[in-house]
Amino acid sequence: MLLKRLTEAFGVSGCEAQVRDIITEEIKDCGGNFNVDSMGNLIAFKKAKKENAKTILLSAHMDEVGFIVTDITEDGYLKFATVGGVDPRILISKRVKVNDRCGVIGLKPVHLTTKEERKKTPKEKDLFVDIGAKCKEDAENVVLKGDYFGFDSDYTEFGNMIKAKALDDRVGCLIMIEMLKKEWDVNLVCTFTVQEEVGLRGAKIAAKGICPDFALVIEGTTCNDLTSVPKNLRVTKCGGGAAISILDSASKADKEASGMLINAAEKRNIPWQYKASNAGGNDAGAISLLDGGIKTASISVPCRYIHSPVCVMHKADFDSCKKIVEGFLEDCGGVTDND
């Protein structure tokens, strides 16, 4: 299954090659053109058969959150810093993969902690990675300072749900792959971007000069529909359909573009929901400001436990997101009037 391959691939920000190679293999026979720019963004273009067709940009990022080695101790443990937004509370005892070597994020055992230590959330500086090395020299046969590594987590389906790392944003990448395999009455440009998790860096370059009529950013977004959270504070709901964002910390959705997304969903009876929070941001924050301003909107698949090794999504939400994007492209398929 393609989503399994995409999510299990290593792709911490700045190290997206494995993900890019999978995508390139999938789209090479789609009938369009593609190239990789100097930052590592993969840009695919599929021209419409009609003249004067609209140009639509779809964008999703290939990178995931992860870690970088900052030091190797004399007894062979790895000290690290996080790459992207990772909550230290979720790190203890998690499996990681360091240059194909299994590792575990460790902490002093509870039996040896003081009462005061047990009251506090461990900080990043208190944690370490155990890769089974007996000393610094042994560890350096596997890893060096400055190497990146990521979570080690298998793709698993349970009931109507999927658990995997990096659903943010391999779900968006998969939807764009599927769009490129179809024929549209629009000029379709898909940017598979790098380094979104560390400042929307790839999108600032990948989308420059395209000047589309509309841009859609396809994402995995936060979902906190947990029992302890009041309903009025739940950002999105698993199983409630794709989430359409109006405002976040990086951008404000273009009213026309977001309205077209909603209309595409409503007239096809596809379930959808608003993202009920302005926290977070995505590549729309960069794309919307390029080339004098681009009409940009965001549509996302709700993901529980995002930025962790156990992100969880509902299969129906993925289908909803894909179908709404398809509807949007269909609705944009009319010929533009250049007179």
- Within the chain, strands assigned E span 33-36, 42-46, 55-61, 66-72, 78-83, 95-98, 101-106, 128-130, 148-151, 156-158, 161-164, 187-193, 214-223, 242-245, 272-274, 296-304, 311-314
Instruction: Give the catalytic positions in this structure.
Output: 196
Q: Which amino acid, 111?
A: H
The two most distant CA atoms of the chain are separated, in Å, by 77
Paired sense of beta strands 242-245 and 272-274, if any: parallel
**C-beta atoms surrounding 166 within 10 Å:** 29
How does DSSP classify residue 16? -
Whole-number Å distance between alpha carbons of 308 and 229: 19
The answer to whether the CB of 222 falls within 8 A of the CB of 306 is yes
Compute the C-alpha angle 235/240/244, nearest 5°. Answer: 60
**C-beta atoms surrounding 280 within 10 Å:** 17
Torsion of CA 224, 226, 230, 232, to 10 degrees: 40
The answer to whether the CB of 296 falls within 8 A of the CB of 257 is yes
CA distances 225 to 135, 137, 230, 249, 296, Å, are 45, 47, 8, 21, 27
Residue with the two structure tokens 């993900």: 19
Determine the number of helices (DSSP H) and then strands (DSSP E) in the chain: 9, 17
